[in-house]
A and B are shown apart, each in its own frame.
Chain A
Amino acid sequence: MMLQAPAPTTAARMVMVQPKWMRSTQAGRAKRTTVLVTIALLAVVFVAMSPFIWTLMAATKPTNIAFANPPHFLFQPTLDAFVNLWQTTDFYRYTLNTLAIGAMSVLGTLVFAAPAAYALSRFGGKTSAIILAFALLIRSIPGFAIMLPFYEFATTLGLYDTKLALTVAFIAVDLPFTIWLLRNFFAAIPPELDEAAMIDGCSRWGAFRRVILPLMQPGLVTAGLLTFLLAFQSFLLPVVLADVDSQTVPVFLSTQIGQSLPLLQQAAAGVVLLTLPVLILALLAQRYLVAGLAAGAVKG
């Protein structure tokens, strides 16, 4: 969407308006700028990734020097910590829980949010404005103000520590944001399209389902991805609502950071295992991620 083809850099554009006699030095300078920028970015990337690189090193060192001080930089790497993590803990189950809760909350959120967002994008005026402003206001409520009562309800209803409770909570918390995000996507689709479909005999919601939703695919993917990430990242909500059966990976790992060796090294391995898919996602699904984060930021 926004970052597909490398756009001509500002520097390059500047070159075009320079008088001819300046051009060669300007071109040289532009090249130098690009090289400098690349070097700077490489440095930034290295610094930004250093905690994960260091954790990867700790996870692959032999256990007796994994957290040695002063640290060892040269070592024979081993994957034992990863193997032990897989075999001695339910890490796979926590991963499945995280994925399942994420997927269900995406589905639930989109089912509720899409019609709402569509209606709000087509219906201007006071009512829509109040609802959208209200949704924005809800976003600013501190998490504990919602989650402590949720914990009370979940235990009273016997839903504590179930995926259902977590999913419902995520849907509730994510709805306002997702409605805003999708509403902005819907607003970009010209209303004339709905009208054309309605003239062809579709009802309002028939037009929505047959014409508008298919056009919205990128928007839905973006919103889905973001909703998924919110569930994936959340700590507060699963730490309050989950325990044994629906424990998620971040909460599990948070109860491992006070371990001693060898379990602490397994925690490091867990951190690496969680980071890798994120890296892959950031590189592969970047356009959706970027679009979602940017759009969500602008209006949410």
Chain B
Amino acid sequence: MLRSHKAALFAASTLSALLVLTACGAGSRTGAQEVDAVACDFPAQEQEVEVNVLAYSSSATDPFTNMMVASCSKDGVEVKHAPIDFGGQYQKTATTLAGNTGSYDIIEMYSGAVPRYASTDTLLALDELFEKHREAYDFDQLSEAMLEGLSYDGKLYALPTQSNVFTLVYREDIYEEFGLDAPETYADVLADAEVIQAGGEIKFPVALPFADGTSTLFEGALASQGSTYVDPKTGEPTFLSPEAEKGLNALVDLVPYMDPQVISFDQPRVQQQLFNGTAAIGIMYSGRMADLTNPDLTQYSDGFAFAPAPAIAPGGKTSAILSVDGWSIPKNTKIDPDLLFRLMAASITEEAAEQALPFAYPSRDNVVTEHNTPYAAAVQEALSNGAGTPPMETWLGTMQGDTAVLIQQAIIGKSSVQDVLAEAQKIAIRTLSGAAE
């Protein structure tokens, strides 16, 4: 008995020591200190208002989130945010919007998710608030393309923070070593990868985010040829078109030059491959690119260069896809939407946008120059070249999810390109008819 009491005493004191430690950490939040607060105007609140923000962590989203936390936690308002990965945001968005009450008051939204949540009437249309505050916040500066990328059925559902474009990154030092030029087409990527692989240093030079970006890669390949999931004329899915076959083949052709486990690579893993020097060419959203130039994260930070995502055919459009990120207000929040909108607007002022550089390509794109953003040229080129958002339709999410699994099977060689496309066509027809009901 004595022994156990001693043990219990020891356990208890260890626990309380642990709690004391915790209490020390409670006050300071360095994440929010990385930005200098900007003006955040709202009427002082009589009762404490706790604003919960759901936003995935990445070097491009963090500046806006941190800005909101740092600038607007005052006068009776407390803005709360916890770091979370993209998968976590995806799941929690679904659950918080499902019920009559949600846990979050401001939710990070992106182009691909807008249609399904806008069409189910779970997000607040922001047009009235936008007009009301247009002048005060000088919204005319905001990129027209980005506003469009967060609209559905003519209404705005999120206030754009920044724009992500699928962008190519490559190791310039290695390219120079082998006397290669920046790749412009998938055929270039293939040829370069062959040379680098033959060099023997890097076994699998290409890293693409097939875990979370399969549908985006495929949509990009279609877009490069002027196509999309659904033929606008016939209303039929396009998986049996020559463009789809060509696009998927371009991805499958890269298989010998990609890690055999590439379908398990989400963007953080692609990043890690580049950090570790085990890949020399990658395609990711532009918002993930600035990390690569951070010497604290990789010893190769000086070696990276950026280019538009490759085209399928020489001279064709780039295979870039635009995804606009922004702040949305769930309909089930209990907090005054006008207050929430002011917090959102404060985080994207010009002053805030400047601080987001070079991590993000902000919605006030007038602040971006090639000087302050290493990948700006690549993004601008992609934008001017007509990188578009994926089709803003309600069936988009289901279509992406279902076809991504099939395309992954083509990548790991479980099914042939023909079989995958035939099956995808069947599923797409079913999805479209389901959405029409």
Contacts and interface: CB of A to CB of B under 8 A. Distances in A.
Interface in B308-324: none
Contacts of B24: 86
Given A96-B22, A259-B268, A264-B268, A88 B87 contact: no
A281 interface: yes
11 contacts: A64-B298, A86-B21, A86-B25, A89-B31, A89-B83, A93-B26, A156-B100, A245-B103, A259-B57, A262-B296, A288-B4
B403 interface: no
User: Lowest 7 A-B CB distances belong to which pairs?
Assistant: A92-B22, A255-B88, A86-B25, A258-B85, A260-B268, A243-B103, A155-B99
B267 A260 contact: yes
A87 B28 contact: yes
A86 B228 CA distance: 46
B95 A243 contact: yes
B272 A261 contact: yes
A226 B31 CA distance: 37
Nearest to B25: A86
Interface in A217-270: 243-245, 247, 252, 254-264, 266
A86 B268 CA distance: 22
The size bracket of the interface on A is: 35 or more
Contacts of B261: none
Contact of A92 (B3, B25, B272, B298): B25
Contacts of A158: 101
A89 B82 CA distance: 6
A142 B28 CA distance: 42
Interface string A254-295: 111111111110100000000001001100110110000000
Interface string B3-15: 1100110110011
Interface in B69-105: 80, 82-88, 92, 95-96, 98-101, 103-104
Interface in A61-109: 63-65, 67-69, 84, 86-93, 95-96, 99
- What does DSSP make chain A's interface, helix, strand, loop or mixed? helix
B412 interface: no
Given A87-B25, A92-B26, A244 B8 contact: no
A88 B267 contact: no
Interface of B: 3-4, 7-8, 10-11, 14-15, 18-19, 21-26, 28-31, 52, 57-58, 80, 82-88, 92, 95-96, 98-101, 103-104, 266-268, 271-272, 275-276, 278, 288, 291, 295-299
Interface of A: 4, 63-65, 67-69, 84, 86-93, 95-96, 99, 155-156, 158, 160-161, 243-245, 247, 252, 254-264, 266, 277, 280-281, 284-285, 287-288
B103 A95 contact: no
Given A64-B295, A69-B278, A285-B11, A260 B288 contact: yes
Contacts of B104: 243-244
A261 B291 contact: yes
A67 B274 CA distance: 12
A247 B52 CA distance: 13
Nearest to B268: A260
Given A84-B30, A158-B101, A67 B18 contact: no
A67 B57 CA distance: 19
A89 B267 CA distance: 22
Among A69, A84, A244, residue most surrounded by chain B Cβ atoms (within 10 Å): A244
Contact of A155 (B25, B52, B100): B100
